Amino acid sequence: MAPVPPQGIRVPMLLDGRASAIKLCRSIMIKGMEAMCVQSMLAAKQFGVDDRVLASLAASFPGMGWDTGYESYLIGRVVEHGQRRSEEMREAAAMLDGLGMSSELANAIADVQQALAERPAPLVEALDEKGRLPQWRTLLKSA
């Protein structure tokens, strides 16, 4: 239910029959935040306002880390795990369909995750020790 590093064997695990539902519902939120960050930062970069957008997010959500590289972490997660995460979001979409709910958002999240994961650039090698993509502005300039 969380990245294994740095918690290792202390990472929370779910073991009951509702574990898949909890995981997929949580994933819609987490992977959705990542996808929104990717699109927002890439668009902001195109307009040359990425620093101002990040400053505004930091002011609106103090303590989340928008002023200390949180966007680099979110984008780095997509770069490193986007393919697997897109597949997970397709499963979340199927779950939503099964509930009679719209799966459009989950599928859109999957599309963003997959598109970044399929980029030909050697992005994974650019991740730092904390899984961040600190040079995302340069590395993703042609996205």
Instruction: State pLDDT tens for residues 64-115.
Output: 999 999 999 999 889 888 899 999 999 999 999 999 999 999 999 999 999 9
Flag the least confident range among 5-9, 32-36, 70-74. 5-9
Please indicate, yes or no, if residue 68 is contained in any of the structural domains: yes
Examine the pLDDT at 54 and tell me if it is beyond 90. Answer: yes
Count of domains forming the chain: 1
Which residue is associated with the tokens 């990472």? 11
Best CA proximity match to 29, nearest among 89, 99, 103, 83: 89
CATH, residue 29: 1.10.1040.10
Higher pLDDT, 31 or 16: 31
Look up the domain containing 84 and give its range: 19-139
Please indicate, yes or no, if residue 58 is contained in any of the structural domains: yes
Q: 119 Cβ partners below 8 Å, 6+ apart? A: 79, 140, 143
Report the alpha-carbon distance of residue 44 to residue 51 in Å, rounded.
8
Please indicate, yes or no, if residue 26 is contained in any of the structural domains: yes
pLDDT, residue 80, reads 85
pTM of the model: 0.81
pLDDT, residue 127, reads 80
Please indicate, yes or no, if residue 4 is contained in any of the structural domains: no
Average pLDDT of the residues in 26-55: 95
Q: What is the pLDDT of residues 107-127, one digit of tens each?
A: 999 999 999 888 766 677 778
Locate 59 and state its tokens.
């002011």
pLDDT, residue 143, reads 53
Assess contact for 75 and 141: CB atoms under 8 A.
Answer: no
pLDDT, residue 14, reads 61
Please indicate, yes or no, if residue 7 is contained in any of the structural domains: no
Report the alpha-carbon distance of residue 86 to residue 73 in Å, rounded.
17
Confidence of residue 20 (pLDDT cuts 50, 70, 90): confident
Please indicate, yes or no, if residue 121 is contained in any of the structural domains: yes
Please indicate, yes or no, if residue 34 is contained in any of the structural domains: yes
Please indicate, yes or no, if residue 83 is contained in any of the structural domains: yes
Q: Given phi > 0 = left and psi -120 to 50 = alpha, else beta, which region is 74? A: alpha
